[in-house]
Amino acid sequence: MTPSTEAARAALFDMDGTLVDTNYLHAVTWWESFRQAGITVPMPDIHRSIGMGGDRLLDHLLGADRDRSQDESITAAHTALYAAYFPTLAPLPGAADLLRAMADRGWRVVVASSAGGDELVAMRNAIGADEAIADAISGDDVEHTKPAPDLVQEAVRRSGAPADRSLFVGDTVWDMQACAAAGVRCVGLLSGGIPRSALEAAGAVAVYDGPSDLLAHLDDSPFQDA
């Protein structure tokens, strides 16, 4: 039976770098996509941009006033290059167990990723814990991707829980910014390669090494207070 809005609690999860070990694959494939277009973008800059949707990532890295004639080919190249990794995507340690533990404790588990629908399916397949996931949202389901609040707001809506009874888990400053704009607390993970100081400065209420570390500390984590 679906819990009432008053009783429901929502555990909302980003996917890339939070539950699945993909951030560096995205950095490499975006780098190669830019290189094929004759554009040089330093890898560290790309890495720090992962977590945005592709449209926002291009604006962030290349400037909003750029010549956009190559945007479609750059994005298509990234999609094709990254898709080659779909069969070998690997969950981060503890990812599946964390989702199952949250569902077992009565949380409505919703995953929300700026990635497209095909990428979301590939990541869910890699994790292998669909029985714990109540709903899933991709960048295709909203008008604006992170750091806009749309994904977080839609995840809260679909969970049936109020924002103040929801917690989001993410690995980038874009997750933190999206949650701040949506009025949802965000727990940070270091598994995406972003420093603790950056996540805390962006608003993380707590930071853990990765899914397995959060799972080990659930009983004294912010989830205990929701």
pLDDT tens per residue across span 188-211:
999 999 999 999 999 999 999 999
Structural domain containing residue 47: 23-84
Both 145 and 162 in one domain: the answer is yes
pLDDT for res 1: 37
Q: Answer whether residue 67 is part of any domain.
A: yes
Residue 2 has pLDDT above 50, yes or no: no
- Which phi and psi (to 5°) does residue 160 adopt? 80, 5
pLDDT for res 64: 87
Q: Answer whether residue 3 is part of any domain.
A: no
pLDDT mean over 180-187 = 98
pLDDT tens per residue across span 153-169:
999 999 999 999 999 99
Both 60 and 123 in one domain: the answer is no
Q: Answer whether residue 145 is part of any domain.
A: yes
Tokens representing 10? 């929502």
pLDDT mean over 63-69 = 91
Both 111 and 201 in one domain: the answer is yes
pLDDT for res 53: 83
Tokens representing 120? 């979301």
Q: Answer whether residue 94 is part of any domain.
A: yes
CB 198 within 8 A of CB 173: yes
Tokens representing 206? 């707590």
Please calculate the CA angle 140-142-148 and round it to the nearest 5 degrees: 120
pLDDT for res 225: 78
Q: Of 35, 60, 84, which residue is a domain's last? A: 84
The 166-170 sheet, strands edge to edge = 135-137, 108-112, 10-13, 166-170, 185-189, 206-208
Q: Answer whether residue 2 is part of any domain.
A: no
Q: Of 65, 84, 103, which residue is a domain's last? A: 84
CATH number of the domain where residue 48 is located: 1.10.150
Res. 3 pLDDT band, cuts 50 70 90: very low
Both 53 and 144 in one domain: the answer is no
Q: What is the rounded distance in angstroms from the CA atom of residue 119 to the CA atom of residue 76?
A: 13
pLDDT mean over 72-80 = 96
Q: Answer whether residue 1 is part of any domain.
A: no
Both 110 and 208 in one domain: the answer is yes
Residue 9 has pLDDT above 60, yes or no: yes
**71-76 CB contacts, 8 Å cutoff, 24+ apart:** 73/37, 74/33, 74/34, 74/36, 74/37, 74/39, 75/33
pLDDT for res 176: 97
Indicate whether this model's pTM tops 0.75. yes
Q: What is the rounded distance in angstroms from the CA atom of residue 201 to the CA atom of residue 205?
A: 10
Burial of 75-94, coded b for 16+ CB within 10 Å and e otherwise, reads: bebbeebbeebeeebebbbb
pLDDT tens per residue across span 52-63:
988 789 999 999
Res. 226 pLDDT band, cuts 50 70 90: low
Both 117 and 219 in one domain: the answer is yes
Both 102 and 170 in one domain: the answer is yes
Both 108 and 71 in one domain: the answer is no
- In Å, how far are 9, 23, 138 from 92, measured between CA atoms? 24, 11, 19
pLDDT tens per residue across span 95-107:
999 999 999 999 9
pLDDT for res 6: 55
pLDDT tens per residue across span 105-148:
999 999 999 999 999 999 999 999 999 999 999 999 999 999 99
Contacts of 60 (CB under 8 A, 6+ apart): 49, 52
Q: Answer whether residue 31 is part of any domain.
A: yes
Both 33 and 109 in one domain: the answer is no
Domain total in the chain: 2
Q: What is the rounded distance in angstroms from the CA atom of residue 7 to the CA atom of residue 1?
A: 12
pLDDT for res 50: 95
Both 159 and 171 in one domain: the answer is yes
